[in-house]
Amino acid sequence: MKNLRNAFPVLSQNTYLNTASSGLLYDDLLDFRQEHDLDFLIGGSIFRDPQQQILNSVRETVADFFGNSVENTILSPNFSIGFNTILNGLPKEQKVLLLEQDYPSINFAVTSKGFDVCYAQVDASLEQNIEHAVEQNKPDVFAFSLIQYINGIAIDLDFIKQLKINHPNILIIADATQFCGTQVFNFKKSGIDILGCSGYKWLLGGYGNGFMLFKDHILDNITPSYYNIEAANSNYDESYTSLQSRFECGHLDTFNFGSLQYSLKYLAKIGMDTIEQTITHLVEHTKEELTKLNLLEEDVLLRKRHSSIFNIKGDQKLFKHLKENNIITSIRGSGIRISLHFYNTKEDIDKFLKILHRYR
């Protein structure tokens, strides 16, 4: 893994603990992107002639990487566009369960559209809180982030699978932007009905790409009847009227989605087992050290497993001090967020702790 760091120029100048904000560009991906645009420069519209084959290839790569069928894999410029398309087609009388203080792209998107909303609290008893909220409120939809963007609390995937078994009529929609690329994951074996992700964080795909994964028959179930009626009576090409085209409307950029495909192949070459193992060891080391310094909230300490995101006690002054020492983090909530990927090392964490200790 240390040898792979050489492909990420940012790491030569900084201790980068900020993948939760943005994943990094690496040398090989830059080469691909430059070659792509050179071909466009030379070919113009001729370069775009095989775009459907290119995009179909991207769908196949995404589907294979996450364990889904190609026909139920949809490309989207980001999670938010895909999620809002889903919400725009759902009956407004449906009740939606959200997590308190979840990512605004989920919570605000739902509340701003007038749905009946209920909440589950995010704390050490997250799963029990969700189960209680479901029993009490009988929601039609449960929309949430697999990993909370502020403090990194991660929902138990086995719990989600059991929740779907216990409550099969709930439509379960997950934002996996802070999750995909951190561990091995098979969508078909999960209890999630719809999973969306933007590709610019742990997937290292750069900006402007993402995807939505659907279980069998879900696309049919969430497509409004008026859309199907209009499509059936239309003479337009299927690329404008299919269930998938409701999400993939307009042009899709082969530069952006080609970057996503390139990075998925890059991660697969490293091996998601290896990446998961590396991140797990880093998380264990980081949590242990931050616990010693009493920098983590109690709810995080009480949970057995944690994600690759941590939020420590700190303010703007500490954030500025870290940045002056070339340690890149983010301010989120009432603290400072750090996040880890396979290109990080224990030495990165130890340097961060050393600067932190010096500051304190």
Task: Assign 3-class secondary structure to 61-78.
Answer: HHHHHHCCCHHHEEEECC
Mean pLDDT (whole number) for 40-62:
96
Q: What is the 8-class DSSP label of residue 248?
A: S
The count of other CB atoms within 10 Å of the CB of residue 36 is 19
Report whether 339 contacts 309 (CB < 8 A): yes
Mean pLDDT of the region 299-323: 96
pLDDT of 294 higher than 90? yes
Q: Are strands 210-214 and 194-198 parallel, antiparallel or unpaired?
A: antiparallel
Which are the contacts of 122, defined by CB distance < 8 A and separation ≥ 6? Answer: 99, 100, 101, 102, 129, 148, 151, 153, 299
Q: Is the pTM of this model over 0.75?
A: yes
The answer, yes or no, to whether residue 343 has pLDDT greater than 90, is yes
In DSSP terms, 89 is beta-bridged to none
Cα 153-154-156 angle, rounded to 5 deg: 135
Question: Residue 54: which pLDDT band, with cuts at 50, 70 and 90?
Answer: very high
Distance, in Å, from the CA atom of 313 to the CA atom of 303, rounded to the nearest integer, reads: 18
CA angle in degrees (0–180, nearest 5) for 213-201-1: 110
Contacts of 206 (CB under 8 A, 6+ apart): 23, 25, 29, 33, 199, 200, 256, 259, 260, 263
Give the model's confidence band at 240: pLDDT under 50 very low, under 70 low, under 90 confident, else very high. confident
Mean pLDDT, range 255-272, rounded to an integer: 98
What is the average pLDDT value for the chain, to the nearest integer?
96
Residue 248: how many other CB atoms lie within 10 Å: 19
pLDDT recorded at residue 238: 85
Label residue 165 by pLDDT band (50, 70, 90): very high
In this structure, how many other beta carbons lie within 10 angstroms of the beta carbon of residue 193? 21
pLDDT band at 360 (very low <50, low <70, confident <90, very high): confident
- The count of C-alpha atoms lying within 13 angstroms of the C-alpha of 33, restricted to the half-sphere facing its C-beta, is 16
Residue 239: per-residue pLDDT: 81
Burial 304-340 (b: 16+ CB within 10 A, else e): eebbbbbbbebeeebbebbeebebbbbebeebbbbbb
Cα(323)–Cα(346) distance, integer angstroms: 19
Confidence bin at 250 (pLDDT 50/70/90) = confident
Nearest Cα to 177, choosing from 20, 347, 15, 2? 20
